[in-house]
């Protein structure tokens, strides 16, 4: 259940204990709740401070949208697919499987030398129309078309990952799942930054307490341009994940012939959607949150050593049909690097085939909140479908 925090223009509905939310994040939430365009604000249990707007926030606005409340990785999200394999079907040398996945999917700053043939990505179409629309995007990204093509089907770095997981408990215990987390790569970042810069300079945003919360308003050319680029980037992110799913599936087929796959589950968690609540048409911005409408399947990951959950939405309107996007950080990347060592990382990812070097110490499980507690805190938002634990984790 949520706690209503008063003191702003609209109540802040929190599925986290307000006493545990850092002061900087609470100030951000109050700044958002005081914006004149905001219809409502819901805060997920993985809430933490973010640039511009708080991560784990769901903002419903009337006739306006804040690009910083979406974030710079437009369309970032998750995909997961259940396989026909069980734990005993996996090779004894999981390092071989990890290397095969890394060969198939570029990670970090890497990209494909030749763009992935869309024919390799089942279930997607309209690629010609999609790329034709590139010419209508912001002038500042028109030189990035070739890079954007080459990055389709690439992972990126930071908290993005590809995992091979085992289902925990229940009749399907030991069933193998594939899971990945990524977004709109460099092109989404470039579009977001350009539109945030435009919004900051608009006169109606001059007196905001935080210029990073600058908005576009309906009926303006700036809003029309942002919506065009935003929805294109969200589509790019979805196509990027679908391409990676296809590449990872092929990597598994090459390692374990005869495997079959269910239909993938996919969900954005940094995005905007047009929805209606209380009879009011609003633009809902989910920054670090998934849609959890009645029956919606979603994915809530933990960290690289703790496991994840497949969930089904309960359609709770008080959260604007939303749930958390993951465990959420409990310390910054800088603090994690200062606090922990590669040896700590190795200990906390024992039993997982993954990188265990200084380059990913900021992703150590102890830098994240407890995923089980986060799931329990939103029992009125989602029900658990499957609990997964990774045995292979690929990071950039």
Backbone angles phi, psi at 322, to 5 degrees: -130, 160
Residue 328, marked binder: yes
- Whether 112 has a binding-site annotation, put simply, is no
d(CA 78, CA 9): 33
Q: Is 302 annotated as a binding residue?
A: yes
Residue 197 annotated as binding? no
| 77 labeled binding residue | no
Tell me 205's DSSP state.
G
Element (H, E) at 295: none
Could you tell me the sign of the dihedral formed by the alpha carbons of 30, 35, 41, 45, in that order? negative
Nearest to 201 by CA among 55, 57, 67, 29: 67
Q: Report the C-alpha gap between 136 and 228 in whole angstroms.
A: 8
Is 325 annotated among the ligand-binding residues? yes
Residue 303 counted as an annotated binding residue: yes
Which residues share a beta bridge with 5? Answer: 12
Q: Tell me whether residue 39 is annotated as binding.
A: no
Return the bridge partners of 329, or none.
368
Answer yes or no: are the C-beta atoms of 348 and 370 closer than 8 Å: no
Flag whether 162 is marked binding: yes
Known binding residue 338? Answer is no
Q: How far apart are CA 56 and CA 62, in angstroms?
A: 20
Catalytic residue set: 325
Residue 269 is assigned to a ligand binding site: yes
Residues annotated within a binding site: 73, 159-163, 181, 269-270, 301-304, 308, 325-328, 395
Binding-site entries for Mn(2+): 73, 160, 181, 269
Binding-site entries for GMP: 159-163, 269-270, 301-304, 308, 325-328, 395
């Amino acid at each position: 259940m949520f706690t209503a925090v008063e003191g702003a223009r609209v109540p802040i509905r929190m599925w986290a204990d307000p006493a545990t939310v850092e002061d900087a994040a609470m100030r951000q939430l109050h700044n958002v709740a005081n914006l004149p365009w905001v219809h409502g604000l819901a805060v997920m249990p993985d809430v933490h401070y973010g640039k511009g707007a708080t991560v784990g926030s769901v903002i419903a606005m009337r006739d306006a949208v804040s690009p910083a409340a979406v974030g710079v990785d437009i369309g970032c999200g998750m995909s997961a697919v259940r396989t026909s394999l069980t734990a005993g079907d996996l090779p004894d040398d999981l390092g071989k499987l990890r290397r095969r996945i890394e060969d198939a999917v570029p990670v970090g700053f890497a990209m494909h030398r030749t763009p992935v043939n869309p024919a390799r990505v089942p279930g997607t179409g309209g690629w010609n129309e999609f790329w034709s629309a590139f010419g209508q995007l912001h002038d500042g990204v028109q030189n990035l078309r070739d890079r954007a093509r080459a990055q389709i089907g690439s992972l990126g770095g930071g908290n993005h990952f590809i995992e091979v997981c085992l289902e925990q408990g229940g009749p399907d215990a030991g069933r193998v799942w594939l899971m990945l987390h990524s977004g709109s790569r460099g092109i989404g970042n470039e579009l977001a930054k350009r539109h945030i810069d435009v919004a900051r300079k608009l006169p109606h945003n001059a007196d905001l307490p935080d210029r990073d919360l600058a908005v576009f308003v309906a009926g303006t050319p700036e809003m029309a341009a942002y919506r065009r680029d935003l929805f294109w980037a969200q589509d790019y992110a979805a196509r990027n994940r679908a391409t990676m799913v296809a590449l990872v599936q092929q990597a598994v087929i090459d390692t374990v012939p005869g495997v079959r796959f269910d239909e993938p589950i996919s969900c954005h968690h940094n995005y905007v959607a047009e929805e209606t609540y209380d009879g009011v048409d609003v633009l809902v911005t989910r920054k670090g949150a998934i849609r959890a409408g009645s029956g919606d399947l979603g994915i809530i990951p933990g960290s690289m050593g703790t496991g994840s959950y497949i969930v089904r939405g309960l359609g709770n309107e008080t959260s604007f049909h939303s749930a958390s996007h993951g465990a959420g950080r409990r310390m910054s990347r800088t603090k994690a690097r200062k606090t922990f060592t590669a040896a700590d990382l190795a200990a906390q990812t024992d039993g997982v085939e993954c990188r265990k070097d200084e380059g990913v110490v900021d992703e150590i499980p102890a830098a994240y909140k407890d995923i089980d507690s986060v799931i329990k805190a939103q029992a009125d938002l989602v029900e658990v479908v499957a609990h997964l634990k990774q045995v292979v984790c690929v990071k950039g």
